[in-house]
Amino acid sequence: MKFFATLLAGTAFAFSAFTASADVRFGIMNEAYPPFFAKDASGKWQGWEIDLMDAVCAEMKEKCSIVELSWDGLIPALQTKKFDVIWSSMSNTEERQKIIDFTDKYYNTPSKLIGAKGEKAGATAEDVKGKTIGIQVATIQSEYYKKYFAGVADEKTYQTLDEAFQDLAAGRIDYVFGDSIVLDAFVKSDAGKDCCADMGDVADDKEILGLGVSGGLRKEDTELKAKLNAAIAAVRASGKYDEITRKYFSFNIYGQ
Amino acid sequence: MDFSWVAKYWPLLLSGAWQTVALLVISVSIGFLLAIGLAFAQVSGGRVTKILARSYCTFFRGTPLLIQLWLLYYGVGSLLPMIPGLRQSFMWPVLREGFFFAAVSFTLNYAAYEAEVLRGALLAVPKGELEAGRAFGMGRFTLIRRIWLPRAIRIALPTIAGEVVMQLKATPLAFTVTVMDLYAVAYKVRQDTLLVYEPLIVVTVFYLILTAIIARCFGLVEQQVPVRR
Amino acid sequence: MASLETTLQLLSPYPPGWGGTLLKGAASTLAISAGAYLIGLAIGMAGALGKLSGNRPLGLLLNLYTTAIRAVPELILIVGLYYAGTDGLNRLLLLAGMPPLEVNGFVAAVAVLGFVQGAYMTEVLRGAILAIPSGQIEAARAFGMSPALRFRRVVLPALLPNALPGLGNLWLAVTKDSALVAVVGYQELALATRLAGASTKQYFLFFLAAALLYLAITLVSNLVFSLLERRVRRGQPALA
């Protein structure tokens, strides 16, 4: 009898996890991606993108919660309704637009290469000939690699950019290709400053490197899209956007 | 279900299967040799060897393979820059790649599990056969080579077949350290085509075929030496 | 290599030390392992009884289930079921005309691991039930016991000594398989370690700490199971 009672209680507990919440749930990659988002030692999310999320939620007057997932699982999980908005520095590209919808952009930064200290700087196909480039899986940089560097240099894919940094420091790869701000943060950090240096931005390609970072949405959530766009515009207009940006950067990251 | 991508990615699937099989064969064969040593150390070794072998097995069976793999690849990897002259040496092309670390990690892990199986099998060999061998004046090494080990392996063969299949199922973890094995190919296809299930299904079929081949091979070996009941 | 003092600082359970994150990850690992184990037990018991009931279609279906799960790599099962599980469930609900459920990460991880464990449990429990001397079950039937009463009084106590070694192995297996949900981004010990390593760049230290935590879980589990075995085997002749 006691067994069945505990079984029932257990099932009820499990089902309580099913109750629909009124929160707007933001999906974020569960890896460190400073300075945009990272978890500190007490498990709290911090970073520019987190601050922006809080500001946008305040504008929308909604309660927001964070759902953590792996990077390559963000789009499938969005579609199976595990959360409502992808807010994980994901760029708006035409390829992705076939499956999901995007809000207006909230920042736009170029992509660059970093390499071993002392190597010749330069980020064209000529410079990377015969070398190995570390790229995070399912990113705009891996698309760019396929178009410009594929026949010329080797690619190593990593689940997270951080693993690529480790291998660059260990000398297993020659370059890491990613977002310029995150790569800059690494090169300036303790772990990066001895081993690695900036090799320069890659030539821009609007189609592949995208139209800027935006929030990812399901195609049918038009109402949420309108709300988010309004909130993003309001945050920009009120000066809160610049205030948050000043906390982390000395330059504008919104782009044209 | 969209399977149109299979034609385009076929060479990549084959090379991924090759990497998987290579990892499996290396870890199983070298791991088996290591396991023999560990099993004998635990069965008839001195006190210190017994404790060392036991600790090895406990560590490698008590921690997840994923942690062992990351410990080896990233942990040791972070120590590599401290070795001067490593990048110019002949070992660098090997140490650069994740394959080496995946192979080593899988071998060490497999050896621990296999040692447990062999240990049980060594103890299960009928004592009478060992005594007969000793009565014939066989030296220790001859006894092991001619009677103890072959009998133990025959006893353990069904379990070893199961362990090899389990090792095959563990190989997908290599994708986390940049090895382009079968699962990594599925991963890449998922990212390129944004299809969620189809690549996993095709790769699963590959694994099922490999499992069937392994089971068949072991079945053939078992038939060579029937066990009299 | 960091000095001893910085090492202890990094491992400290209080922020800015990462020990707290690791311990929370370990608790998470134990929680999903326990949940998955219980679900696996429930599925396994039902599966074992189903296979032994003699019902042909049911036996076939269960055979398909156990063979499929045991033949496919766990990583693929976990990744596939994590996304497919919610998707499939919601599509079924849609067909039934009900609103879709939102499943949080914990429940999804537990359900997936439990589903996988169920297949292995089915085999262990089936073997254990088959090892019960048939005379005991026949005697229970002769006494007119109902199947439920027979199960509670005869089958369950008799299968426990046979099943316990296998169940112990499966518990260890599930605690280690729980590390695989790190690949879908669910934060348990393996992922917590990666986060800690990424923030501090002391990878070797944290992976070693994680290995020791898993080892501690294994050793304590071994102790618990050997105590359980001693209790369950009381009154029986000692093993050879």
Tell me the CATH number at B37.
Answer: 1.10.3720.10
Q: Are residues A186 and A129 in the same domain?
A: yes
Q: Across all residues in chain B, what is the average pLDDT?
A: 87
pLDDT score, position C40 = 94
CATH number at residue A147: 3.40.190.10
Q: Is residue A5 part of a domain?
A: no
Tokens 């067994």 appear where?
A3
Q: Would you place residue A19 in the very low, low, confident or very high pLDDT band (cuts 50, 70, 90)? A: very low
Q: Is residue A104 part of a domain?
A: yes
Between the ranges A12-26, A195-209, B24-38, where is the mean pLDDT highest? Answer: B24-38
pLDDT digits (tens, 9 = 90+) for B79-131: 777 777 777 777 777 777 889 999 999 999 999 999 988 888 888 888 898 89
Residue A55 contacts by C-beta under 8 Å, 6 or more apart in sequence? A235, A240, A241, A244
Distance, in angstroms, between A98 CA and closest chain B CA?
10
Q: Are residues A104 and A219 in the same domain?
A: yes
Q: Is residue A56 part of a domain?
A: yes
pLDDT score, position A16 = 45
How large a percentage of chain A has pLDDT more than 90?
5
Q: Is residue B72 part of a domain?
A: yes
pLDDT score, position A148 = 86
Q: Which amino acid is at C17?
A: G
Q: Which 54-93 residues of chain A touch chain B by CB within 8 A?
A: 72, 75-76
Total domain count, chain A: 2
| Of A52, A42, A38, A2, residue with least CA distance to A253 | A52
Residue B27 has pLDDT above 50, yes or no: yes
Q: Would you place residue C34 in the very low, low, confident or very high pLDDT band (cuts 50, 70, 90)? A: very high
Question: Which residue would you say has higher pLDDT here, C215 or A83?
Answer: C215
pLDDT score, position C127 = 85
Residue B116 contacts by C-beta under 8 Å, 6 or more apart in sequence? B57, B61
Closest Cβ–Cβ partner in C42, C101, C183 for A70: C183
Residue A98 contacts by C-beta under 8 Å, 6 or more apart in sequence? B194
Parallel, antiparallel or unpaired: strands A85-86 and A175-179: unpaired
Distance, in angstroms, between C230 CA and closest chain B CA?
21
Question: Which residue would you say has higher pLDDT here, C163 or C99?
Answer: C163
Q: Is residue B132 part of a domain?
A: yes
Q: What is the mean pLDDT of residues C209-214?
A: 92
pLDDT score, position A18 = 47
Report, in this order, helix, strand and coil percent for chain B, each rounded to 5.
Answer: 85, 0, 15
CATH number at residue C180: 1.10.3720.10
pTM of the prediction?
Answer: 0.84
Q: Are residues A94 and A173 in the same domain?
A: no
pLDDT score, position C88 = 75
The answer to whether the CB of C69 falls within 8 A of the CB of C214 is: no
Which of B146-150, B167-171, C105-109 shows the lowest mean pLDDT across its residues? Answer: C105-109
Q: Would you place residue A43 in the very low, low, confident or very high pLDDT band (cuts 50, 70, 90)? A: confident
Q: Is A7 on the interface with B (CB under 8 A)?
A: no
Report the distance separating Cα A187 and Cα A149, nearest Å: 23
Closest Cβ–Cβ partner in C73, C214, C219 for B64: C214
Helix (H) or strand (E) holding B163: helix B149-170
Angle at C196 between CA A137 and CA C3, to 5 degrees: 130
Q: Range of A200's domain?
A: 111-209
Q: Range of C15's domain?
A: 4-232
Question: Which residue would you say has higher pLDDT here, A18 or B4?
Answer: B4
Q: Is residue C238 part of a domain?
A: no
Residue B226 has pLDDT above 80, yes or no: no
Q: Would you place residue C100 in the very low, low, confident or very high pLDDT band (cuts 50, 70, 90)? A: low
Q: Are residues A101 and A140 in the same domain?
A: no
Total domain count, chain C: 1
Closest Cβ–Cβ partner in A99, A163, A170 for B194: A99
Q: Is A142 on the interface with B (CB under 8 A)?
A: yes
Q: Is residue A179 part of a domain?
A: yes
Q: Is residue C77 part of a domain?
A: yes
Q: Is residue B155 part of a domain?
A: yes
Using the beta-carbon criterion (under 8 Å), do B172 and C75 form an inter-chain contact? yes
Q: Using a CB-CB distance cutoff of 8 angstroms, which residues of chain A are in contact with residue B95?
A: 172
Residue B195 has pLDDT above 90, yes or no: no
Q: Would you place residue B17 in the very low, low, confident or very high pLDDT band (cuts 50, 70, 90)? A: very high
Q: Range of B92's domain?
A: 5-224
